[in-house]
């Protein structure tokens, strides 16, 4: 059972275009994190959202947490080739993978921005 659905799975766009990546679930999460992963490297945290309806901006990236804390979106304005990578969302879920609770990762969106 995939608790976190990311869409689209693949996205290829031209430099300067805008895009939105979605992370959806039927479950409520205590927090939602977005990571970016480049080939041959581990994921690196971009942002954490905690409060329902929260919006955070990181330069050209805008992150939103759904009001019910079940979904999130990442919007990139004027994409650049440096934005190329795998974008992963991860939800904090108690009782997942042990009583401590752990992060559940989506399958990721592979973004390619062509010059």
Partner 1 sequence: NAGVTQTPKFRILKIGQSMTLQCAQDMNHNYMYWYRQDPGMGLKLIYYSVGAGITDKGEVPNGYNVSRSTTEDFPLRLELAAPSQTSVYFCASSYSTGVAYNSPLHFGNGTRLTVT
Residues contributing to the site for partner 1 (CB under 8 A):
4, 9, 30-31, 33, 35, 40-45, 48, 50, 88, 90, 92-94, 96-103, 105-108
Smallest distance, Å, CB 55 to partner 1?
A: 15
- Please give the span between the terminal C-alpha atoms of the chain, in angstroms, as a whole number: 37
Alpha carbon distance 113, 5 (integer Å): 22
Task: Report the residue number, 22 or 105, with the smaller CB distance to partner 1.
Answer: 105
Smallest distance, Å, CB 111 to partner 1?
A: 15
Smallest distance, Å, CB 52 to partner 1?
A: 13
Task: Report the residue number, 82 or 98, with the smaller CB distance to partner 1.
Answer: 98
Alpha carbon distance 55, 36 (integer Å): 18
Kindly state the greatest CA–CA separation across the chain.
Answer: 46
Alpha carbon distance 110, 85 (integer Å): 6
């Amino acid at each position: 059972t995939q608790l976190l659905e990311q869409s689209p799975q693949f996205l290829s766009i031209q430099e300067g275009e805008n895009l939105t990546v979605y992370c959806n679930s039927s479950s409520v999460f205590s927090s939602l994190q977005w990571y970016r992963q480049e080939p041959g490297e581990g994921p690196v945290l971009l942002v954490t959202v905690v409060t329902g309806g929260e919006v955070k901006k990181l330069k050209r990236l805008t992150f939103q947490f759904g009001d019910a804390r079940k979904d999130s979106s990442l919007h990139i304005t004027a994409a650049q080739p440096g934005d190329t990578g795998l974008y992963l969302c991860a939800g904090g879920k108690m009782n997942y993978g042990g009583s401590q609770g752990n992060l559940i990762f989506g399958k990721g969106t592979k973004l390619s921005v062509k010059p």
